[in-house]
Amino acid sequence: MSLNMDKVKMKLDICRESLKKGYGSVFDGAFLNLFCFDFFDFCRTLHKFLIKINEEEEALGDVYLSLTQIMVCIKYLEKTIQMEIKRVVAISAARQHFLDRLYWRLEHLWSCITSLSKKDDEKVANIITEENSFVALMDFILEQIKPFTNYKDDDLKLSTSIETNVSASMERAILVSTQIRDRVNIVIGHTLAFANVALEADKKALSALSQTVLRECIAWQTECQLGLKQPNQYNVSNCRVKASSLENALYKLEDFINEALLRLVYRCLLDFERFSIEKLRILMNQCGPDDPTMDEIVADFDVNLDRTTQIGIFAVSFAPNKQIGTLVRNCLASFESLDSCIIPSLYEKGSGQLYSQLLECHFKEEVKNFKTAILEIADSQEFTVCFYDLLNQYLKDNEKNYNSLSLQEIIQMGEILKQHFLLPINQKVLLKRGTCFESFKKFCVMLSECQAILQTSECVNTKRVIKRFKILRSQLHRLIKGLSDDINDYSEMFMHSERESEITSTGIKSSLSVLSKSYEFIPSNEGRKSLSPANQHAKDRRRDSLRTAMFRRQKSAKTEELFNSYKNFSESLQITDMFVKYVFLSKLLFKYPEF
C-alpha cells in the first residue's frame, strides 16, 4: 500500500472515531462539528490521491456518490439535532438512521478507494463480472455485429484474402455470435426488468420484442455454427441476412424502450404528486392501518419507486456529464435508503412523528432533485413529441367517452413539459430556434386556458372543452415544428423522406444484393476485449451535442417491411445496375469501335 493510501486510511479512521461519538450524544451537536472538521481534512487528503487517478475509472463514480451521500446525511443529521434542541425531545430513530447511513457510506467509500488503488491486472476480474447497463450492452452488441452486416466488394485484395481464410472467418463468426448471445441474454434481462414496471399497454410489446431479439440471435448463432459442421451447406449471404435481422430486431427493441421510457417518465413524475407522503399521511389517519384501501395506495407508492429506479438507471447511462449522473445516482441511493422506513414512520406517534417529518423532508428534496435531473437530461424535441402522442390519445378517448379527470391528468403532464422548458439549459434551446419561444409562450397560455375551462366544465358544453384541447394540440404542433431544424411537417419526424435513407438507417446497404454470394466479409476489431471502444462509438452514435438525446427515437419506420422488401427486390436491383453498365459500355464501343 502506497504512502498516500496510508494517509487516506488514517484520516478515514479518524472520521469513524468522531462519528461513533454521535451514537451516545443527545441534544449535542459538538460531535458533528468535530466529524465535519475531520471529514474536511480527509477530503483534502483524498483529493491529492484522486488527482492521480484516470477520470475514466468506473470506481471513481462510486467515490463521488459516496461523498455526495455523506454530505446529504450530514445535512439531515444536523436538522435532526436542531429539531431535538428546539423541541426538547430526543428523535432517536432519525439520529440512528442517518448515523448508520453515514457509517456505511464511509465503509463503502474505503472499498471504492481500495479498488482504485489496484493495478490494472487486478481489476480485470471485477470488470468481467460487473453487470453492464442496457445502453452499454446494446451499443457494444451493435458495434460487434456491424462487420457481419457490411459488404466489402470495393476492395479486391480484401475479397481475395477472405476467400483464402473462409475457415478463420467462420471461426471468428462463431466466437462473436456466442459472445453476442451472452450479452443479448443480459439485455433481455434488463428489458424484462423494465417491462415489470412499464405501463400496462407497453408490457406485451416489450415481451414480444424481447422474444424476437432472442429468436433472431439464436438463428444467427445457429447459421454461424453451420459453417463448421457442414461447410458445403454454409452460405455467407444467409449469415448476413440473419445478422441484419438481429440488428434490426435490436434497433426496434431499443426504439420501443426509448418511447416507453418517455411515457413512463410522464407517469412517474405525475404519480409523485398523486402519492405524496403528505397525502399518504392524511389517508392513513382517515382509513386506519388495516384498511385494504391503504394497502393499495402503499403498493402504488412502491411501484412508483420501482419505476423511478428503472428511469434512473437509464438516465445515468445518458447523463451528459458525471455531475448529473452522480446527482441521479444520489437520488436513487436515497430512495433505496428511505424505501424501507418512510412508510412505517407514518404510523409513529409522539416524537416518531418528528422522525416521519424529517424523512418526508428528505424524500421531497430528493424527488425535486430527481425530477430536475431527468427533465434536464431529456431531449426537448422527443419529450415534446411524446406529450403530443399522449395528448392525441387522450383526445381520442374523450371524444368517445368524455372524462374530465383524464383531461385533468393530461394537463398535469403538460405542466411537466412546461417545467422542462423552464429549466435554463432548455430555455437556451427555445431561444436558439427562431419562433420556438413564441410558440412555447402560446402553448403555456393555452395550457392555462384548458385548466380554467376544466374547472368550469360543468357549465360548459363538452364539445367546447374538447375544442379547447385541440387548440392546445395545434399550438404544440407548432412548437414541435420549431424544435425540428430541418423538418417542415410533423409526420416527417417519424419517417425519412427518402427510401434510401430509410434502408441505410436499418443497417442494410442498398448498393449490393443481400443474396449475392460473390461478397465475403471479415469481422473488424478482432482484438476488442472491453466495452470501452464500443462505448466511445456509442457516444458518437447517440450524442450529437453536449445535451444528451435521452430516450432518443430512431427514425427508421417499418424496419421489418423495408428489410423484407429489400430482400425480395435486391437481386433485381443488382441486375438493373448491371444492365445500366452494359448499356453504357455498348454506347462506348459503338462510338469508339477501336476501343
Q: What is the pLDDT of residue 477?
A: 94
Q: What is the structure's pLDDT at 423? A: 94
Please choose, from the candidates 345, 347, 277, 262, the residue with its C-alpha nearest in 3D space to the C-alpha of residue 307. 262
Tally the C-alpha atoms within 13 A of residue 313's C-alpha that lie toward its C-beta. Answer: 18
C-alpha span between 55 and 73 (Å, rounded): 26
> What residue type is 412 in one-letter code?
Q
Report the length, in residues, of the chain. Answer: 595
Is the CATH number of domain 133-150+167-257 1.10.3470? no
Low-confidence ranges of the chain (pLDDT < 50): 1, 120-121, 124-130, 153-164, 486-576, 578-580, 582, 588-590, 592-595
Q: What is the pLDDT of residue 168?
A: 66
For 223, what's the count of Cα atoms within 13 Å in the CB-facing half-sphere? 19
Q: What is the pLDDT of residue 574?
A: 46
How many Cα atoms sit within 13 Å of 99 on the Cβ side? Answer: 23
Name every residue whose Cβ is closer than 8 Å to that of residue 240 and which is 6 or more positions away in sequence: 148, 149, 151, 514, 521
For residue 430, give every residue at least 6 positions away whose Cβ sits within 8 Å of its Cβ, in sequence order, or none: 421, 436, 437, 440
Quickly tell me which residue has 449471404 as its cell: 237
**Other C-beta atoms lying within 10 Å of the C-beta of residue 244:** 24
Sign of CA dihedral 242, 243, 246, 247: negative
Residue 98 near residue 341, CB atoms below 8 Å = no
Kindly report the backbone phi and psi dihedral angles of residue 554, in degrees, each rounded to the nearest multiple of 5, phi listed first: -80, 130
Question: Positive or negative CA dihedral for 26, 29, 32, 34?
Answer: negative
Residue 25: predicted pLDDT: 77
Sign of the CA dihedral 416, 418, 420, 422?
Answer: negative
Alpha helices (runs of H) in 198-230, residue ranges in sequence order: 200-229
271's CB contacts (< 8 A; 6+ apart) are 300, 304, 307
Q: Residue 352 corresponds to which amino acid?
A: G
Q: What is the rounded distance in angstroms from the CA atom of residue 58 to the CA atom of residue 33?
A: 32
Return the pLDDT at 282: 86
Residue closest to 144 by CA, chosen among 107, 182, 116, 108:
182
Helix/strand number for the chain, H first, E second? 23, 0
* Residue 416, H or E segment: helix 404-422
Q: What is the pLDDT of residues 76-107, one digit of tens each?
A: 999 999 999 998 999 999 999 999 999 999 99
Alpha-carbon gap, residue 210 to 208, rounded angstroms: 5
